[in-house]
Structure 1
């Protein structure tokens, strides 16, 4: 935790003290208690007197449920301890055992937590050496060793920083002219996170956030700033696409075909290939007759033109998923009329902090008080991660599977139904059109940005059912009614199931990833590695999407650390370049466990469809596992799961066999 121990450089100590005193009035008491433990090393702050009550819902629970006089006692003690730190006193807690971290979490959140969460918290607090940034002394690199990273989004930025801090030569290939990936590309009105940005950020790069849930511009600015601050831009080749990657079995490296925006092509060699293209990479267009014939503006939310003006226009929106739920309330006050074409209904949870700014006093604490933001993050991680996981398990004895999967899920349904009714106000006639007929969380649970209030407006029309065709002037429903519009907004999301679909990937023997996944769909061990594709890692791969909650940034950090941990061990074991490939039986057993777990969970509930499942009916997007379990598996970094060979020991004829197979396939192709 050395990165955040230097006191802020404020000259007027008295003014800073006064600002701190005022800010502490708005402090989160459970977080302050943890700050006190760190600064004083006194475990009195973990005694029963300061035991916080359980967090309800997704509220910050600022009082901790403690009596007012106890809250003030904590504020006063924190004021003294923080001022002592500012005046030069070092934090007294030098080390923290796993048990101490677990006790701290339990006091802070008001309930017992699994041991895996204390391990995750310790890593987030900087207590796990494997997550330290500076790892240069840990890697023994052979001459010429090189890594290629595909994509400069969240995973690509994290990979680049970890590689650079480990002294490993690398290059990042990015198709756009800037970092950010999804956040650079998606610029539609209302675009933002539905995860608190204090955990939708890197553990090693704190930020002074203006909102609790940031909009696109602030998030994009954060990732751009991180790339600049950590000096990785010089390693990124912007405006360049990866066309294909082919594994060279004889030399145990990848040949990566790239093309710049000017048409210049090149082949890069990589001892390790990291795919950071993610799930939300390729926009999905609806298959509607006549889509190209429309004479007005027709845009996908992921390709929003900067000069698109919807003011006074008749606008149609196709879809009602996450992007639609953001863009519709954002533009409704500008348009003349809004027509929403809804194929299926969506659950959405109350979103009290939507657009809510972080008060200056709280920003001061998060920015300048040691350990405050770190512990605030840990509490958020608990609140937004696995707390509902148990409620998403099917109860075979539950008598009402048509509306819920267990008694907890039924309570969730009642709560969300009451909320929808309240939001519709006088328009209860719309209830049947918007109230889902499947259990809550059966599809991605959305955060309500004002969707239900918006569809209840007089200048908004909600159309249920299908679209038969699109004409030059508008859209025709499956009932034959035409709706004339000036602009069509396509909010149908991304081709998330066609993973690694933006480039051709050929592994051992020339087999493509499409061929490898042809029978069952996308599969990977831990969601990152596949048999037949040695020395290759795919971040945010199959069965890693967080359908039950959590931060994808934290997930990606864990996956990148896993790859780095394996790289470290493989280099040491082989004393140079290597071939690392997950064992087939290990891969298959893990994926069998995934589907068995999904069979017990909500996303395989009968009579319901979602984008998590492929054509074969397998859930390939979301994970069925708890965040802490998955994190612990990755942290173990077990080489026993892999075939590992020094590159020099590989058979020289393997490349020739691959070439012969490739030539045979070409000659027999129709």
Structure 2
């Protein structure tokens, strides 16, 4: 007996693992493997779902579960049955399977996106492929993190010559350089990955940074991306050559040696939070102890027995506090403004062994777990960020859906700190959930704040002196170590000198108000695509991997449009660009980010315009980027 990968299976082991699995997922897998939709009628009515479970788990009676398992064992272990299975991306079958797997019935508009995000099929081409991509259409990818890896995989599949320019000495991006205590992913691991590169071996539903870094390295190695990567190479400038229709890319090696490389197309695969940001507090350099920013952590730093101050109260601070609280002698948290903190829904984030085993051995099992994780954190959450004016006029929350989250967070505060306590008041925000990025408690953050050796100060430091931190009230908090969990400067390519047509600088085009058309394109900057563009962050749910995959598909479609028209460069018209930005701003007015001006957030620029979050549902963004609208572009 063997599974689809030719691996020998012990039927007793298979049965034992299947009996611990979600019967709804097993049923849809059974239908896919056998092509027998009759199993849906035989067993489907007996399956219900637990609404409050993290995975909307399917449940059924023991007899039905056993019958599904028996049939599935035959499907997995019988010769030829898997080879004869219905195509996993069959739309008609998929439409029948989704409600059973999820426990809800998404509209038909979501099904193509779910097929793709579940890894059942790759993004479908839309632009005709009657003309081959020319050899002159080579690609430079700036950055070797998740976005750069995704772009490189797509380029290789299209037969496009590419090079990755990475300033670090390895791939991994954020997950290579972020190594502070407790650093981890706050998007479900079964979803926070590339849809074409599912990982059956996640050990945690929310893995630590090292595990995610290892995933990215493994993907890069499978696709030979290192062979196309120049490590230790910082891109300092991009200059468009109007005569050659190519970008001159000015780089500097880690030893300081400058050079220039060239490409017809540049994809910037850089995040916008890279430079550590310190508070403008007086005397910071005078501190006699150890100072460290979360983004520049020293892995040799031992906090055991130390008096530690953590400045900041965002996701990073929560992970650090959770991780170090048992080691330090005393911890003081300086909190400028509290965040809403959602409780962990499981006793443990460890992925059960049976899930990992089934991911490896049962076809499509991992795909369906991904679909469930995606749907649970994607557009099903969209109503939480949309304002109901009537509701918002009389509530702190902005809508009934938003209030459900608020009440969940308030209940967590009351359970942990005691309703009406001083500490509960300190950690309770005065704005609606999602007004600033919500935090998922890694498990011990709120409990840590209740410990006798932990103080929570609702203030920023007034000044720093050699002995420690002085509060606005004049009190001295003596510490040995100051941890700055104060975030990063918001850099939409502002650290790079980018000169487009006629030498115009991108920083001048944006002038503190970064904007972009679809695909992260900007008029006057031909063949430049920004994967982490303004207003592309799916801030109501999912993860940036969604926006990356959407952008990469769109870039490929644009390149085929160039080939079909025999053109060498492409850029959006000023009219299309302005209209698209106006649509974003109009839609944004109805969101929580515009309704909660008191929430301190990097999502807004100095003028109050929201420049990070996307105001739309994911499915709307997905549909917008299926194919370029030719009349919205200038092709030369």
1:119 is aligned to: 112
The aligned residue for residue 10 of structure 1 is: 7
1:199 aligns with 2:196: no
- Aligned residue number for residue 463 of structure 2: 469
How far, CA to CA, are the matches of 1:381 and 1:611 in structure 2? Answer: 25
**Pair 237,418 (structure 1): closer, same or farther in 2 beyond 3 Å:** same
Q: Which residue of 2 aligns with 1:382?
A: 375
In the alignment, what sits opposite 2:278?
285
In 2 relative to 1, CA 48–523 (structure 1 residues): closer, same or farther, beyond 3 Å? farther
CA distance 1:171–1:518, shift in 2 (3 Å):
same
Greater Cα offset, 119-128 or 68-77: 119-128
Native 8 Å contact 1:613 1:619 kept in 2: yes
| 2:579 is the alignment partner of 1:589 | yes
Q: Is 1:304 paired with 2:297?
A: yes
Q: For 1:53 and 1:387, locate their aligned partners in 2 and report how far apart those are by CA, in whole Å.
A: 19
Q: Which moved more, 1:98-107 or 1:524-533?
A: 98-107
Output the CA distance in 2 between the equivalents of 1:561 and 1:57. Answer: 34
CA distance in 2, matches of 1:203, 1:289: 47
Whether 1:350 and 2:340 are equivalent positions in the alignment is: no
Q: Does 1:529 align with 2:521?
A: yes
Aligned length: 629
Per-residue deviation at 1:513? 1.6
1:554 CA drift (Å) = 2.7
Write the mapping of 1:114-513 to structure 2, written as runs, cut at 5 A. 114-124=107-117, 128=121, 130=123, 140-207=132-199, 208-353=201-346, 356-398=349-391, 400-401=393-394, 403-425=396-418, 428-449=421-442, 450-496=444-490, 498-513=491-506
CA shift, 1:425, in A, is: 4.9
Q: What is the Cα-based RMSD across aligned positions, in Å?
A: 2.2
Tell me the alpha carbon deviations over residues 574-606 of structure 1, each in whole angstroms, 9 at most, x when there is no partner: 1xx511001222121111111111111111114
Residues 250, 551 of structure 1: CA spacing in aligned structure 2 closer, same or farther, 3 A cutoff? Answer: same
Q: Quote the residue 1:657 is aligned against.
A: none
State the Cα distance separating 1:191 from its structure 2 match: 0.6
Q: Is the 8 A contact 2:119 2:367 kept in 1?
A: no
Quote how far apart the aligned CAs of 1:412 are: 2.3
Q: State the Cα distance separating 1:126 from its structure 2 match.
A: 5.4
Q: 1:83 to 1:266 in 2, by over 3 A?
A: same
8 Å contact kept, 1:102–1:113: no
In the aligned structure 1, how far is the partner of 2:627 from the partner of 2:492?
26
For 1:123, what is the secondary structure of its paired residue? helix
Structure 1 residue 501: Cα displacement: 2.3
> Which digits, 9 at most, give the CA deviation of each residue in 1:259-314, with x for residues without a partner?
00111111111100000011232222221111122121111111111111111101
Aligned to 1:648: none
Match of 2:603 among 607, 612, 634: 612
Aligned to 1:34: 28
TM-score (norm 1): 0.90
Structure 2 residues without counterparts, runs of 5 or longer: none
Question: What corresponds to 1:598 in structure 2?
Answer: 588
Task: Name the CA distance, whole Å, in 1 between partners of 2:159 and 2:633.
Answer: 25
Measured against aligned partners, the alpha-carbon deviations of 1:326-385 in whole angstroms (never above 9, x if no partner) come to 010100011110010000011011113475222222111011111111111111111110
Q: Does the 8 A contact of 1:173 with 1:240 survive in 2?
A: yes
Change (3 A) 1:125 1:380: closer
How far did residue 96 of structure 1 move?
4.7
Contact (CA 8 Å) 1:527, 1:538: kept in 2 or not? Answer: yes
Distance 1:554 1:164, change over 3 A: same
Distance 1:95-1:466 versus aligned 2 partners, 3 A rule: closer
C-alpha displacement at 1:139, in angstroms? Answer: 7.1
Answer whether contact 2:240 2:247 (CA < 8 A) is retained.
yes
Q: Deviations over 1:528-587 (max 9, x none)?
A: 11111110000021111122100321321121111011112211221xx51100122212
Which residue number in structure 1 is paired with residue 533 of structure 2? Answer: 541
